[in-house]
Structure 1
Amino acid sequence: MLVTDTLLLDFKRCQRRAYLNTHGSSEERRPERDFLLKLRQESQRHIQEVLEEQFPHYREPETPTHLGQERAQETKSLMAQGVDCIYRGYLYHSLPVNLNTDHNGNLPVLELLGHPHLLVKVAGESRWGPWQYRPVSIQLGRRPKPEYKILAAFYAQLLAVHQGSLPRWVEIILRRGNSYSVDLWEWLPRFHQTLADCVQTLIHQREPEVFISRQRCNLCHWYDHCYAIAQEQQHLSLVPGVTPSRYESLQMVGVLTIDSLARLQAAQVGELMGSTIARQLQQQALALVEKRPLLKTTVAAPLPQATVELYFDIEAEPERNLDYLLGVVVVNREEKTEKFYGFLAHNPEEEGIIWQEFIDLIQSYPDAPIYHFSEYERETIKRLGKLYGTPPKLREQMLDQCVDLHHYVTNHVICPVESYSLKSLASWLGFQWRDAQASGDQSVCWYDNWLTSGDRQFLELILRYNEDDCRATWILKDWLSQFLAA
């Protein structure tokens, strides 16, 4: 059985994903999304920048990467020679697994294969002489996540097998060159436990339970497969607010489906998670079962009404810290007109230009509420206003006009939805995006494609998606006003 660092990383993030990657049917995988390819490209650029700035004189094994054991043997030879820095070296080790024997009475063999980004020569003792190697992982994240540390401990353990001693320290280089040293005394035991759990799951083919987490699962190529199972099972993870810990609490009292949660008496789990949270989860399940919205007990202040209303949505590229499209639908209820304004930066340098165009439009309607769906729009007004020298008084005026519908919905209404995203809420209300697969992530990919190719069709796709988001916000606002009035 082969366990690679990639498989171990998948297992740490989602045990079910690692299981399906090993035992699942390829027919049930959906194609990878463009955004994943973009992330891999960004990761590779980050690695190259670190190499150029910190490790310009490196050696790379010549053996092709698909020949894992042979490349690992060459890597071992380079370490024995005392090469200063090895890029994309392989570390391999095999050992019998102390589990049930196979049908021939033999112990199964566990093969471990790691691909550290760098192996850097440092002073120390090893079986080769007065030097040893330390592994360096180069990750795109902004913080040293637990899965990064597990992999770092994996590399350290494999290195110890070859050089005869553990490396003195293990390094993770994060985005913007931030460096982090891993405490092996803490993370080696965690690695061993993760590896043991992974091997047990995969060898015995113990399929992990489905648990849908929108933020974590959305980009996974097994999402459609797992979601179909969750729907069939009426799985509690489809209820907004059911976290893994709350799920365990519900299981303890025999609540296993959405229907049983809807019938729950909050006092049954009040001691485990608090009566307020228990009631919220029960009401959310009830809304799903009965397919109708419920009003929360808190008094809902009426949404502001005006002759002219503005519906605002942003497309942004976090990697560049860039807001490349500021979209607004202007609705004049008295004149029964509507118009979409898409202020689009054709290159990153035009961000200041579209910001000023946006300000000019907003100033034309000083009394109009600016409806949006998330805190991001308010934060962007603050950031761009400060960045481009917008007078503080004008910034405050725009912020006073803002009305966050996401905050309003989640505080006052329980909707029969599995997620309180704009797309989920507006789709429940019958709104359809013209491009069904469009998303914020896809918009970022389209913008990258535009910058690379100059093909204007990508700009048209971005503008259309953003206009639909603005109109979905409009649909949601009108429904909220009518629901609360009724």
Structure 2
Amino acid sequence: MLVSDDLLLYYQRCDRRAFLDVFGDSRQRDPLDQFLLKLRQDSRSHRREVLSQYHYQRPDWSGEDWYEGTQATLELMEQGVESIYRGVLAASWLPGVELVSKPDLFVRHPGSSRFGDWFYVPYDIRFGKRPKLDYQIVGAFHGLVLSQLQEVWPPTAWLVLRGRNPHGVDFLKRVPQMQQLLSDCIVSLRQPQTPELFLSRQKCNLCHWYSFCHHAAQSQRHLSLIPGITPNRYSQLQGMGIDSLAALVETPRSQLKMVFGAEAGNQLAQQAIASYRQQALLRDGAITHLFQSPHNRWLANPQGAIEIHFDIEAEPDLDLDFLLGSLVIDHRHNRQTYYGFMAKSPQEEALVWQQFLELMESYPQAFIFHFCDYEVKTIQRLAKLYNTPKHRYQALINRCVDIHWWVTHLTLLPVESYALKPIARWLGFNWRNPQANGAQCICWYNEWLSEQKQDCLEAILEYNEDDCRATYTLKTWLTQFLKPYYLEAINPERNRIINY
């Protein structure tokens, strides 16, 4: 069995992924999407920038035979070369277990080892900005393998991060953690069955086994597909003997409250019912939220003469909001008009901000609907950046309505996630390009900047318009869903309903 640094890295994130990487059918992997390719390209650029600071040599090996690579790397170490790029070291660990370490660099330092009055220290070049624990564990793994072959531990392993000083791994803390994880990883890989499934939306979306696992989860109606069920809560549910959605629905709410707390237990019970019945429910306490919200006035006139739906596309690495999209719904004339204010270069951000401001101010009474709080934060950021008078941008903010807030505080939906796409698709809305997403738009925009392909801008505008229309679809449904509750709540018996 070969246990490499990459395998240990992914085992920390998901034991199932590590197992599938070794034993799974590679034909069932998802193809690399453009965003992942961009991340890899950016990572390579960062690596080249760092490597330009070193005088390194590369071992002469085919790249396939670990033994051959180890011998070639050791030859350079015995020569005492300054640094080694793309070296590899393999060392026996347990009977039948070989450890394979491939840091970006081995750098010579003065000291003592079997090579002479020098030893080597591993350097990992990471595109991230933080010294994540899983990176540090891999650094400790490099130290372990290196110590087996140079017969002395390096004092540390270095993480060369983006925009940060190199971070030294504290071996005193990380080596014991690494050894425990390594032991667990070996045990897992020796088991005949695939590790249990748990689908985590944030951690799993970029994994090449995502579709494979997601299909399995859907076929099982797995509890990890229920919003609010975290890995810790899943373990607690298993401890209670709850291993299916049906079992969760049948569990007394008082029992869930006792285990998870009153609020979380109650929410979990309600979400389970919504998912099991495949229907929307009014969340407990929703009417109170409705009247406490400072932006509840839109419900009094949910379909005014004009309403606006607002969505932004951004490039975080450039600190740039390059598209401010707005769908203007004119109910008076039964007309829908999309405006996509696109910065075709970073220097045009100020221009599109002014264009957006002027459009919003041309409809001073219209509510501005958006999904999540990023749009309001962007208005504040752009206003500050471009010295917009407070009365101008504050007037916009006062008209903003965060539909995500209303959905998550007032409703429970039979969806896997309360992001815009799952909710809108549950309502029957479909994006014209089903593969498009915010990450893909970043790729298209960078492709536009480098190659000036007009179809990249057109794809971004189409996706952004669909986001605006999805927000409109959701807002329209939410209005219809809440209307009877709202009308009942404002009648003379309102206090009875609120206190119910």
Short-chain TM bin:
over 0.9
Is residue 2:40 matched to residue 1:5? no
* Deviation (angstroms), 1:303: 5.5
Question: What's 2:447 paired with?
Answer: 449
Question: Partners of 2:120 and 2:88 in 1: how far apart?
Answer: 13
Question: What's 2:34 paired with?
Answer: 34
Q: Which among 433, 436, 439 is matched to residue 438 of structure 1?
A: 436
Percent identical among aligned pairs is 45
Contact 1:88 1:117 in 2 (8 A): yes
Q: Which among 81, 101, 120 is matched to residue 83 of structure 1?
A: 81
- Structure 1 residues 65 and 238, CA gap change in structure 2 (3 angstroms): same
Question: What's 1:312 paired with?
Answer: 310
Is residue 2:477 matched to residue 1:479? yes
Question: Partners of 1:389 and 1:129 in 2: how far apart?
Answer: 63
Structure 2 SS opposite 1:329: strand
Q: Which amino acid aligns with 1:231?
A: Q
Question: What's 1:287 paired with?
Answer: 274
Is residue 2:2 matched to residue 1:15? no
Structure 2 SS opposite 1:73: helix
* Deviation (angstroms), 1:197: 1.4
- Structure 1 residues 193 and 361, CA gap change in structure 2 (3 angstroms): same
Question: Partners of 1:366 and 1:83 in 2: how far apart?
Answer: 70
Question: What's 1:100 paired with?
Answer: none
Contact 1:266 1:282 in 2 (8 A): yes
Q: How does 1:388-399 map to 2 (within 5 A)?
A: 388-399=386-397
Question: What's 1:117 paired with?
Answer: 104
- Structure 1 residues 328 and 9, CA gap change in structure 2 (3 angstroms): same
Contact 2:54 2:83 in 1 (8 A): no
Which stretch shifts more, 348-357 or 436-445? 348-357
- Structure 1 residues 8 and 130, CA gap change in structure 2 (3 angstroms): same
* Deviation (angstroms), 1:149: 0.9
Report the TM-score when normalising by structure 2: 0.91
* Deviation (angstroms), 1:321: 1.9
Q: Which amino acid aligns with 1:37?
A: L
Which stretch shifts more, 440-449 or 417-426? 440-449
Question: Partners of 1:12 and 1:478 in 2: how far apart?
Answer: 43
Question: Partners of 2:284 and 2:110 in 1: how far apart?
Answer: 66
Q: Which among 252, 264, 270 is matched to residue 257 of structure 2?
A: 270
* Deviation (angstroms), 1:178: 3.2
Question: Partners of 2:117 and 2:174 in 1: how far apart?
Answer: 26
Question: Partners of 2:238 and 2:481 in 1: how far apart?
Answer: 34
Structure 2 SS opposite 1:125: strand
Q: Which among 422, 425, 433 is matched to residue 423 of structure 2?
A: 425
Question: What's 1:105 paired with?
Answer: none
Structure 2, gaps ≥5 residues long: 485-500
Is residue 2:174 matched to residue 1:187? yes
Is residue 2:240 matched to residue 1:248? no
Question: What's 1:62 paired with?
Answer: 60
Question: Partners of 2:297 and 2:482 in 1: how far apart?
Answer: 9
Q: How does 1:396-411 map to 2 (within 5 A)?
A: 396-411=394-409
Contact 1:93 1:112 in 2 (8 A): yes
RMSD value, Cα: 1.6
Question: Partners of 2:146 and 2:152 in 1: how far apart?
Answer: 8
Question: What's 1:197 paired with?
Answer: 184
Question: What's 2:202 paired with?
Answer: 215
Question: Partners of 1:370 and 1:58 in 2: how far apart?
Answer: 57
Q: Which amino acid aligns with 2:435?
A: Q
Question: Partners of 1:71 and 1:388 in 2: how far apart?
Answer: 55
Aligned residues: 473
Question: Partners of 2:374 and 2:77 in 1: how far apart?
Answer: 49
Residues 398-428 of structure 1 show CA distances to partners (whole Å, capped at 9, x for unaligned) of 2222211111111111111111010011111
Contact 2:256 2:266 in 1 (8 A): no
Question: Partners of 2:9 and 2:176 in 1: how far apart?
Answer: 16
Is residue 2:164 matched to residue 1:177? yes
Structure 1, gaps ≥5 residues long: 98-108
